Amino acid sequence: MAVRKFKPTTPGQRHKIIGTFEEITASVP
């Protein structure tokens, strides 16, 4: 799993984690 959790202190970092998860589910727009 390529889900990287590096303490989402900022909304941007949280979005990056979600984006990585979307890549795994092949849900790329």
What is the average pLDDT score of the chain? 59
Instruction: Compute the distance between CA of residue 27 and CA of residue 29 in angstroms, rounded to an integer.
Output: 6
Please tell me the distance from the alpha carbon of residue 19 to that of residue 16, in angstroms, as a whole number.
5
Q: Which amino acid is at 6?
A: F
Burial class of residue 29 in the structure, from the number of CB atoms within 10 Å of its CB (0-12 exposed, 13-18 middle, 19+ buried): exposed
- CA angle, residues 6, 16, 9, in degrees to nearest 5: 45
pTM: 0.21
- Reported as a pLDDT band with limits 50, 70 and 90, residue 7 is low
Q: Would you state the pLDDT for residue 4? A: 63
Return d(Cα 8, Cα 28) in angstroms, integer: 22
